[in-house]
C-alpha cells in the first residue's frame, strides 16, 4: 500500500478540496496516475497525475493548489523541507490528487473502536 504523508497544517485544506497538489522531491516518480494512496489521518487519495517540474516552473496557481497563500511562501516551505535539494541528486515532482474516501477524524474524546471478534 502506497502512502502519502502530509503535515497536520494541511489536513483541513485536503479534506475541503482546496489543496489538490503536493510538491515532492524523489529520485524518480514513486506513484502514477490512476493509483490510490493512503494519507494517514485523511483517507484515500486518487493520484490524477505526477509531473516532473523545476522550481522555476512553479507559480501562484501552483501555490494555491498546494495550500499556500503565495508562490514565495511555498518556495520557502520547500527550501525548509528539502534543504539539500541542490546536491541530493533528486528531482521535483508535482503530484495531483483528489479525495477518494475520507476517514472521520478522531477527537481525543472518541474511544477506540472495539470489535467483538
The domain in which residue 27 lies consists of 8-102
What is the four-CA torsion angle of 94, 37, 48, 12, rounded to 10 degrees? -70
Q: Is residue 61 a contact partner of residue 50, using CB atoms and an 8 Å limit?
A: no
What's the domain count of the chain? 1
Question: If pLDDT is split at 50, 70 and 90, which confidence band does 116 have?
Answer: low
Cell numbers linked to 32: 502514477
How many Å apart are CA 23 and CA 93, to the nearest integer?
Answer: 6
**Secondary structure (3-state) at 19:** coil
> pLDDT by residue (tens digit) across 87-101?
999 999 999 999 998
Residue 55 belongs to domain with CATH number = 2.30.130.30
Please report whether residue 117 resides in a domain.
no
> pLDDT by residue (tens digit) across 49-92?
999 999 999 999 999 999 999 999 999 999 999 999 999 999 99
Please report whether residue 20 resides in a domain.
yes
Please report whether residue 2 resides in a domain.
no
Amino acid at each position: 500500500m502506497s502512502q502519502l504523508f502530509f503535515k497536520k497544517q494541511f489536513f483541513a485544506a485536503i479534506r475541503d478540496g482546496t489543496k489538490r497538489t503536493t510538491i515532492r522531491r524523489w529520485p524518480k516518480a514513486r506513484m502514477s496516475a490512476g493509483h490510490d494512496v493512503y494519507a494517514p489521518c485523511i483517507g484515500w487519495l486518487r493520484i490524477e497525475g505526477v509531473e516532473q517540474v523545476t522550481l522555476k516552473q512553479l507559480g501562484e496557481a501552483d501555490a494555491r493548489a498546494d495550500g499556500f497563500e503565495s508562490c514565495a511562501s511555498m518556495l520557502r516551505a520547500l527550501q525548509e523541507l528539502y534543504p539539500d535539494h541542490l546536491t541530493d541528486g533528486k528531482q521535483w515532482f508535482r503530484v495531483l490528487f483528489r479525495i477518494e474516501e475520507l476517514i472521520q477524524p478522531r477527537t481525543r474524546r472518541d474511544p477506540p473502536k472495539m470489535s467483538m471478534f
